[in-house]
Structure 1
């Protein structure tokens, strides 16, 4: 430990003989209580039994049983999963068979924050399912928006944020594509070039995690001041998160702070523990502007994770109206674990709520004006075309000022 850091990954918030509070650079503090001794499973050496499929399945199941927060929301009877799959696991012969069983179980959750990292060699002969992706991609959509609807377009960090004005109007437009990669690592001459990623990643991974988080915040502060200056004469601003799949929650909330002028408690967060939940931590937002504009926030079923946290915080502010279709409903930080066999996996164990304590997992952040976007990603992209003609109904609605529906 050096100057309040814990191996560069955690900031020490508070430390006593029996308690430790750490922050990993996010908005949630993690509290630890000293135990009298290590659990028995941590004290014993790995044995052949530890590597058996049955033992690994039970470890997987028990970890979810004690930590996963959304069995009810995801309509999953976890005890029934155990009863149905344990007999099958006992008959397995290969790691590949075991991996396929775990993948099948994970598929039942329909939770985008559950991952299973399996060595490529184990599944190298697995047949690839045929792609159902449409020929229309996100890049096609955003390119069409830029060319048809926008003028005076500016871009930062390979388009992680783009801004300009809507044609034939006094409305500003900001599209935020990710909630990461805002650090000011890349010189101007290498922006939007093939060298961008290599230069950015070299600086990013040379820094310790806490430094990376601070670099992100510094980058946001720098670029958002320019964005707001460029859009200062616009009457209102469209903020487009429809294509944003997430990133860092700290990035999301710092960005939101540039569109509001009041400090408010916006979010509560609690975590699943074996016998219930932790007390909720209250998150407040400190504004970075004194004179906020009218904001039209665009979201879709593709809007996920940290982008949803931006939208969730927006519910507390009267100058922000939300258009589109409810977001993906995947909020929790990812809790990573490791099986005895060595495979890493993740799960959702945090509940994000609004100020009144209402959770939005699975159901997503609601909208003020519904545009009925399809929930499937590629059908969503396709919805921008009618008879091969491109049209953005959200921007059209803002241009017309038609919010009667």
Structure 2
């Protein structure tokens, strides 16, 4: 998924690098980021971020910096300043540009921001207003915020417990069925909620699976090795990438996430997958605590992705076709996804557009284009998808719709495209929502329904059933075989 801390590579602003004093002076002031519910103050070379709704203002972590206050220098380590004027500024990180409207005076509601409050009524109202004002898919997913307010608001009082409040929030948000909606609370509250709902979830018969989730996922990912036991497959960062030649004509690249590519980690592959990634992210966090900036980390991520995809494409350059398998990919960073696809693009191509939702309007549409990499692959391409292909993995698939002669095989993707807008409640709980609309180069919106394949394979929607459907095929794989058949025509 596109967790905001992992969604962007941000390069140093060329403008700021050339004329730091001049550009920093121009950035000073009060800024409103419409569509994101963010108010930004820059004064005396210090930035301050606030989350705002129609009824609230509170100190908040920057979407990327993860700190509500800091030096302007650290801000410019992440954002590329694309435009600055007396009326607006546009900052960019990753593939996305963000427009800020300049205010003449400080935002009134933020003169006395909320610092912390456990008031159940206030926390409910902030959550409700944030979704009402910024959630982009209420109409598509048939969510009536006013109706929900009338149903749940009378149930909440000053005496409402944390568990009761969390239960109400879960009832509201889980019903939307949007994988990009999240709610993070203290662990003890999660445990209490799980216990309180255990009797309900245990009603009826639940299917028992032969393997647990990590094992089932691993077996499904390894199905290609059973189909081609004579082939040599190589790996990068445990299960992040797997590639090899299925035969002399066809190469295969399995991409299982759009993040985790940093080359500055060293972990033995002998660890289990769970242990490996715990250690991986642990090393990243440690490096940040020791002084590495988030900007440096993002640049390392993108560098690692580009180094690896270049190496793999060179290794498979003698083939006439490549299968890109993103069936097990739940997302990560759009920048990584588009950089990977740039190895299969022959000319600059506008691949999709995105715009932000603010209250009742669409704002600031931008067209995203891919430039071909210096060295590109010239053969045929097939992309394998499933309902587990999500978020930035879907961005890759969405972008491929603009490319000629790309085969898409499998099931429709999950249908969650927006970057996750991260917010915080007055009581410290964090939550995320979708506030951006992605459209294909032909203006189609595939939210919820997912991107359909050209050649359909009816994989189960349930993730465990899907894994089982893959690893139970003996020494075959329907999607890979379909790609081979189509390549041979």
TM-score, structure 1 as length reference: 0.90
Residues in 2 aligned to 1:337 and 1:346: alpha-carbon distance in whole angstroms: 6
Which of 121, 131, 156 in structure 1 is aligned with 2:236?
156
Q: Give 1:330 deviation, angstroms.
A: 0.5
Matched, 1:322 2:408: yes
Kindly indicate whether residue 260 of structure 2 is the aligned counterpart of residue 181 of structure 1.
yes
Counterpart pick for 1:301 among 377, 383, 387: 387
Residue 105 in structure 1 maps to residue 172 in structure 2: yes
Deviates most, 83-92 or 354-363: 83-92
- Bigger drift between 145-154 and 247-256 goes to 145-154
Q: 1-side partners of 2:311 and 2:367: how far apart?
A: 31
Q: Distance in 2 between matches of 1:96 and 1:145?
A: 45
Q: Which runs of 5+ in 2 are unaligned?
A: 1-12, 21-72
User: C-alpha deviations, 1:23-66, integer Å up to 9, x for none?
Assistant: 2x321111111224444442236499x64222221211111111
**Whole-angstrom CA distance in 1 between matches of 2:405 and 2:208:** 37
1:256 is matched with which residue: 325, 328, 341? 341
How far apart in 2 are the matches of 1:368 and 1:264? Answer: 21
Residue 209 (structure 2) pairs with residue 134 (structure 1): yes
In the other structure, the counterpart of 2:101 is: 33
Please give the alpha-carbon distance, in whole angstroms, between the structure 2 residues aligned to 1:212 and 1:330: 25
In structure 2, distance between residues paired with 1:43 and 1:200: 36
Partner of 1:53: 120
The Cα of 1:200 is off from its aligned counterpart by 5.5
Q: Deviation digits for residues 344-370 of structure 1, max 9, x if unmatched? A: 211100001111222111111111100
Cα distance in 2, alignment partners of residues 119 and 323 from structure 1: 41
Partner of 1:284: 369
Residue 458 of structure 2 is aligned to residue 396 of structure 1: no
Partner of 2:184: 117
Cα distance in 1 for residues equivalent to 2:242 and 2:287:
22
Match for residue 172 of structure 1 among 246, 251, 255: 251
Distance apart, 1:316 and its partner CA: 0.9
Map Cα deviations across residues 283-318 of structure 1 (whole Å, 9 max, x no partner). Answer: 100011345210110010000000000000001111
TM-score calculated relative to the size of structure 2: 0.75
Are the counterparts in 2 of residues 292 and 319 from structure 1 also a CA contact under 8 Å?
no
- Residues 1:221 and 1:45: Cα distance change in structure 2 (over 3 Å): closer
Instruction: Confirm or deny: 8 A CA contact 1:68 1:347 kept in the other structure.
Output: yes
1:385–1:118 CA distance, 2 compared to 1 (3 A): closer
Structure 2 distance, partners of 1:123, 1:244, is 26
Tell me: CA distance 1:207–1:319, structure 2 relative to 1, closer, same or farther (3 Å).
Answer: farther
Q: State the alpha-carbon separation in 1 of the partners of residues 159 and 442 from structure 2.
A: 48
Is the alpha carbon distance of 1:19 and 1:193 closer, same or farther for their aligned partners in structure 2, counting shifts above 3 Å? farther
SS at 2:355's partner residue? strand
Separation of aligned partners in 1, 2:184 and 2:208: 24
Would the alpha carbon gap of residues 174 and 204 (structure 1) be closer, same or farther in structure 2, given more than 3 Å must change?
A: farther
SS at match of 1:232: coil
In 1: Cα distance, 2:184 partner to 2:416 partner: 19
- Structure 1's unaligned 5+ residue stretches are none
Equivalenced residue count is 398
Instruction: Report the Cα distance in structure 1 between the residues aligned to 2:208 and 2:238, rounded to whole angstroms.
Output: 24
Match of residue 217 from structure 1 = 302
Matches within 5 A, 1:10-25: 10-23=79-92, 25=93
| Aligned counterparts of 1:133 and 1:222: Cα–Cα separation in 2 | 42
What corresponds to 1:355 in structure 2? 441
Q: Secondary structure at the match of 1:283?
A: strand
**Root-mean-square deviation (Å):** 2.6
- Is 2:235–2:242's contact at 8 Å kept on the other side of the alignment? yes
> What is the alpha-carbon distance in structure 1 between the residues aligned to residue 97 and residue 470 of structure 2?
41
Map Cα deviations across residues 159-198 of structure 1 (whole Å, 9 max, x no partner): 31111011x56211000011011122135xx552447625
Aligned to 1:66: 133
Q: CA deviation at 1:244?
A: 0.3
Name 2:38's counterpart in structure 1.
none
Report the CA distance between 1:153 and its aligned residue: 0.9
Q: Deviations over 1:319-360 (max 9, x none)?
A: 311000110000000111222222221110000111122211
